[in-house]
Structure 1
Amino acid sequence: MRKELPPPVPRLTVITLGVSDIRASIAFYDALGFSRRLKATGEAVAFYDTGGPVLALFHWDQLAADAALPDKPRPTTFRGITLAWNCRAREEVDAVLAFAVGKGAVLLKAAHETDYGGYSGYFADPDGHPWEVVVAPGIEVGEDRRVHLAE
């Protein structure tokens, strides 16, 4: 009789974004200040330390092929996912949005008071991936850059 294995421990380790122009995307994420790691991968794939899960950039068509999905038609509208850059204060939200736009991001939505007591706005990276920049009750950003959630 086989011994039943315990269930795997869930974890989110890497978020991979499909990109059209890897050089432009690398330049954009470098300009935002994310720390690139494993540079030996050259322009095949780029990995960034984000203080939590790793952010990876990979050619759009190759990522689709790797996942056994069609690469066309490529969506030009909302894809059902956003990335978030949590902040410690409202002033930091404003500063991050201005910084990102200054590095080539497109402002999607100006910072505003949210209905849940937070403050947020959105920008898009060069491939249109939306990022929410937010400060929210119950979510704290520690000195370790990691998000700490209230119980």
Structure 2
Amino acid sequence: MSKDVPGPVPRLTVITLGVSDISASIAFYDALGFSRRLKATGEAVAFFDTGGPVLALFPWDQLAADAVSPDKPRPTTFRGMTLAWNCATREEVDTVLAFAVGKGAALLKPAHETDYGGYSGYFADPDGHPWEVVVAPGIEVGEDRRVHLAE
């Protein structure tokens, strides 16, 4: 591209998770309180409003085929990514972790003080996608539920 022509505006709009049982995953994310949108898609694909990027659920094998990646073997270890649920307080971290576990999540790591001055713990969804639940210095959760980063 020429230096005179601006490039596209970068944005992250959707995070799609491959899931083994879309019905169970829809129920799990619904139970966490994410609002499902475009329900007319049935169980072909599910979209949830997260207050930021959309969270989409898509059958694992179909997502692998769409991304031109092998479906097997499916990873049973860390996949090199996590999702995050930022909180406003340490108490909220504890509440969210307990809530998620109560809705069927697996507790991966109890909440603890971090070496950077935060407080975090981890849970996994039914397909093992890890979520960090965290309050961290310099990251504020506003009344709009959106994350606001310090300059």
Q: Give the structure-2-normalised TM-score.
A: 0.97
- C-alpha displacement of 1:5: 3.7
Summarize deviations over 1:99-144 as a string: whole Å, max 9, x none: 0000000000000000000000000000000000000000001111
| Residue aligning to 2:125 | 125
Identity value in percent? 90
Comparing 5-14 with 98-107, greater Cα deviation is found at 5-14
CA–CA distance in structure 2, aligned partners of residues 4 and 40 of structure 1: 43
Cα–Cα, structure 1 residues 105 and 7, in superposed 2: closer, same or farther, change >3 Å? same
Q: For each residue in 1:77-113, what CA deviation from the matched residue of structure 2 results, as whole angstroms up to 9, or x when unmatched?
A: 1000000000000000000000000000000000000
Is 2:99 the partner of 1:99? yes
Show structure 1 runs of 5+ residues with no match. none
Q: CA deviation at 1:68?
A: 0.7
Secondary structure of the residue that 2:71 maps to in structure 1? coil
Aligned to 2:58, what secondary structure does the other structure show? strand
Task: Point out 4+ residue stretches in structure 1 off by more than 6 angstroms.
Answer: 1-4
CA gap of 1:5–1:99, structure 2 versus 1, over 3 A, is: same
Give the alignment's Cα RMSD to 1 decimal. 1.6
Separation in structure 1 between the aligned mates of residue 122 and residue 74 of structure 2, nearest angstrom: 22
The whole-number CA distance in structure 2 between the counterparts of 1:2 and 1:18 is 38
Distance 1:8-1:107 versus aligned 2 partners, 3 A rule: same
Q: Secondary structure at the match of 1:18?
A: strand
1:56-94 residue CA offsets vs partner (Å, 9 max, x unmatched): 000000000111111111101100000000000000000
Q: What is the correspondence of 1:1-151 to structure 2 with a 5 Å cutoff?
A: 5-151=5-151
- Aligned in 2, Cα 1:48/1:4: closer, same or farther, shift over 3 Å? same
- Secondary structure (helix, strand or coil) at the match of 1:29 reads helix
- Partners of 1:8 and 1:123 in 2: CA distance: 35
Hey, what's the Cα distance between the residues in 2 that align with 1:3 and 1:134?
Answer: 40
- Runs of at least 5 residues in structure 2 that lack an aligned partner in the other structure: none
For residue 3 of structure 1, report the CA deviation from its aligned partner: 10
After superposition, the Cα gap between the structure-2 partners of 1:143 and 1:3, relative to the gap in structure 1 and judged at 3 Å, is closer
